[in-house]
Amino acid sequence: MGYRVVIPTAGIGSRLNELTKYINKSLVSIANRPTISHLIEQFPNDCEFVIALGHKGNLVQDFLELTYPNRVFYFVNIDPYEGSGSGLGLSLLACENFLQEPFVFISCDTLVKGYIREPNHNWMGFTMVDNLTQYRTLFIEYNKISKIFEKGVFKKNLHAYIGLAGIYDYQIFWNTMHDGHDNAIKQGESYGMKSIIANSNVVPYEFEWFDMGNPKSLSQTRKAYQDSHQPNILEKANEAIWFIDSNVVKFSDDKSFISNRVKRAEDLKGFVPEVYNQRPNMYCYKKIEAKVLSDVITIPIFDKLLIHSQNFWLKRNLTDDQELEFNHSCLKFYRDKTLDRIQKFYNNFNKFDNDEIINGEEMPLLKDLMNSIDWEWMSKGVAVRFHGDFHFENILWSEVNNEFTFLDWRQDFAGNLTNGDIYYDLAKLMHGIIVNHEIIATDQYSVSWTKDEIKYYLQRKPVLVECEKRFSKLILTLGYDLRKVKVLTALIYLNIAALHHFPYSLFLYGLGKKMLKNEIEKKYEFSI
């Protein structure tokens, strides 16, 4: 028979800094799944869960209802969940009506490996750590917990309490929590456990424990859970892709982003997965049994992709007025957005425009490079059915079915859900051929940035160098402007530099600026 598990998620997760600006801390990714997924799946299918909601609580509820439709959840909104009067104890007391039976308490930032026992007796989880200063501690003797200490108590033979407990004597627990008032609200479940320890037997169980409550321990936890077979997904603070059993969940903090993605899936039907369910900030589709193209790319497969892509890039017939409007959208998308993103990069990483040396080559100011671009030429796009983020990490290849599936399509092109510029898809593919995600994920690049010099290095796979040559030849064969593709590729690097992590962000800026200068100065005389 199942039992109930309470998971408090109301806190703002301030120790995780920017990671919880857009999501709840229980949704922070570990091995391409939210932390709370790891917690839920450690318990039997007949367990029921009581979830305390607060900061970004709607996202927690939407995610759990979307991905675990066969699980039972009771959601409790906590008010206040931050500031005066808030605390873990308040979250627990708000859940009391759903916990009038033995239950398990687990903190939403506590991950353990191993069997979690039922609450058919009182127990608490502990682990061995070298430094106890930041943890509540347990004094254990004769296989019994005799006392729990608050943080900052130093005695011999203490062990770190990990925020995981089985509470059999729930009546004692709730009576103690009510009597504790402000202390109970501040200390949380440990306050209620003190009374149980004093009146009953509480068994200690040791766990292999992973804490994700602060950036350092989160990084260690991610390494421990890392799987070499997982896709390489570069993290963004306001977006995520999660893999839950046979489902893929795309999250964004922008509701229009999700809504437009779902709308565009209809236009791209046959090339992208079918979206079968959605919530305001996320949508679901079934996982495709195929390989990410970057893992299996060969020249023959790449040649097949180029043929397939030509069928995808269905040209749109525009009137003169529509074409004028479309070119204006291209100008905004290429020039205005890039200028905004460059400024965002400077602000995010405390940098400024400079005439530095990049990889031994003297550079002008970036603003001068941007001003030297012929923007009328750049903005004369070719309207097609577009993807918008077209690179190897967003393309799957099934050898069994001999087919491609495109993933993570862009939600719009400068606000347009139907028409996009083929040059943007061409440049996106080019940017991914030059800078492969696997190389970045495995740190096969380097960058240094001093006051007057930027140096960067990138390891490239020979097969991708050959793909670039073949792709460049196809662009010319189809009658498109390779120089425009290369300039736009440089602008893409400058655009995304503001969005990625340090030091990868610095690498993207240095590469983008140097490539932009080189492409602007080149005099192209191509032969097919």
For the CA atoms of the chain, what is the radius of gyration?
Answer: 27
Q: State whether 301 and 203 are in the same domain.
A: no
Angle among Cα 269, 274, 279 to the nearest 5 degrees reads: 125
Q: State whether 175 and 312 are in the same domain.
A: no
Q: Are 236 and 251 in contact (CB under 8 A)?
A: no
Domain of residue 73, residue span: 4-225
pLDDT in tens, the chain (528 residues): 689 999 999 999 877 877 889 999 999 999 999 999 999 999 999 999 999 999 999 999 999 999 999 999 999 999 999 999 999 999 999 999 999 999 999 999 999 988 999 999 999 999 988 888 888 999 999 899 999 998 877 777 899 999 999 999 999 999 999 999 999 999 999 999 999 999 999 999 999 999 887 888 888 888 888 887 777 676 778 999 999 999 999 999 999 999 999 999 999 999 999 999 999 999 999 999 999 999 999 999 999 999 999 999 999 999 999 999 999 999 999 999 999 999 999 999 999 999 999 999 999 999 999 999 999 999 999 999 999 999 999 999 999 999 999 999 999 999 999 999 999 999 999 999 999 988 988 899 999 999 999 999 999 999 999 999 999 999 999 999 999 999 999 999 999 999 888 999 999 999 999 999 999 998 544 433
Q: Are 34 and 242 in contact (CB under 8 A)?
A: yes
Q: Tell me the β-bridge partners of 125.
A: 205
CATH code, domain with 128: 3.90.550.10
Q: Tell me the β-bridge partners of 127.
A: 160
Question: Would you state the pLDDT for residue 200?
Answer: 92
CATH code, domain with 377: 3.90.1200
Residue 215 lies in a domain: yes
**For the chain, how many structural domains are there in total?**
2
Question: Would you state the pLDDT for residue 130?
Answer: 80
pTM of the model: 0.85
Residue 115 lies in a domain: yes
Rounded CA-CA distance 225/38 in Å is 10
Q: Are 316 and 267 in contact (CB under 8 A)?
A: no
Q: State whether 387 and 512 are in the same domain.
A: yes
Residue 242 lies in a domain: no
Angle among Cα 313, 319, 322 to the nearest 5 degrees reads: 80
Residue 52 lies in a domain: yes
Rounded CA-CA distance 22/30 in Å is 16
Structure tokens belonging to residue 240: 């995520």
Q: How many CB atoms lie within 10 A of CB 27?
A: 26
Angle among Cα 326, 332, 333 to the nearest 5 degrees reads: 85
421 in helix, strand or coil?
Answer: strand
Residue 245 lies in a domain: no
Rounded CA-CA distance 426/432 in Å is 10
Question: Would you state the pLDDT for residue 212?
Answer: 81
Residue 238 lies in a domain: no
Alpha helices in 268-336 (DSSP H): 293-296, 299-312, 320-331
Question: Would you state the pLDDT for residue 450?
Answer: 95
Phi (first) and psi of residue 263, to 5 degrees? -60, -45
Phi (first) and psi of residue 105, to 5 degrees? -105, 135
Q: State whether 179 and 318 are in the same domain.
A: no
- In DSSP notation, 503-520 reads THHHHHHHHHHHHHHHHH
